[in-house]
């Protein structure tokens, strides 16, 4: 009789480890002022670099990043409800620019310079 293939990626242990990694990543990412929308907009290469900077092996599945985004939303909602709490403000917000580049404003010329 054939035995079904075990799905180790979705075992209880794997889900627990994925959750722990997601929490660790979310703490690092939130502390830099990055929100879930910005996180979802990052390319895979940037996500891998972000995970390594957080001291984690890059997640092998998108499930972990989905959980990270959900955790960021939860933390942002909590921070909005508790603005005076010391943990409600990211302590490394100045590092956000290393991961999320602000839009570049194109150079414009004034009309009188074109004459």
Instruction: Quick: pLDDT tens for 64-115.
Output: 999 999 999 999 999 999 999 999 999 999 999 999 987 777 877 666 655 5
Q: Write the pLDDT tens digit of every residue in 1-50.
A: 455 565 666 788 888 999 999 999 999 999 999 999 999 999 999 999 99
Q: Give, rounded to a whole angstrom, the gap between the first and last alpha carbons of the chain.
A: 86
By residue count, the chain amounts to 115
Does 6 reside within a domain? no
Angle, helices 62-81 vs 12-30, to 10°: value is 50
Classified as helix, coil or strand, 56 is coil
Does 1 reside within a domain? no
Q: Using CA atoms, how far apart are residues 83 and 93, in angstroms rounded to an integer?
A: 16
Q: Which domain holds residue 98?
A: 12-114
What's the predicted TM-score (pTM) here?
0.79
Q: How many domains does the chain have?
A: 1
Does 2 reside within a domain? no
């Amino acid at each position: 009789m054939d035995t079904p293939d075990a799905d180790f990626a979705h075992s209880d242990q794997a889900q627990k480890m994925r959750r722990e990694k997601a929490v660790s990543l979310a703490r690092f990412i939130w502390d830099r002022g990055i929100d879930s929308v910005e996180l979802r907009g990052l390319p895979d290469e940037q996500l891998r670099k972000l995970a390594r900077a957080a001291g984690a092996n890059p997640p092998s599945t998108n499930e972990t990043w989905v959980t990270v985004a959900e955790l960021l939303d939860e933390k942002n909602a909590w921070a909005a409800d508790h603005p005076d709490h010391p943990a409600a403000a990211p302590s490394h917000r100045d590092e956000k620019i290393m991961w999320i580049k602000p839009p570049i404003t194109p150079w414009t010329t004034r009309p009188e310079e074109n004459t």
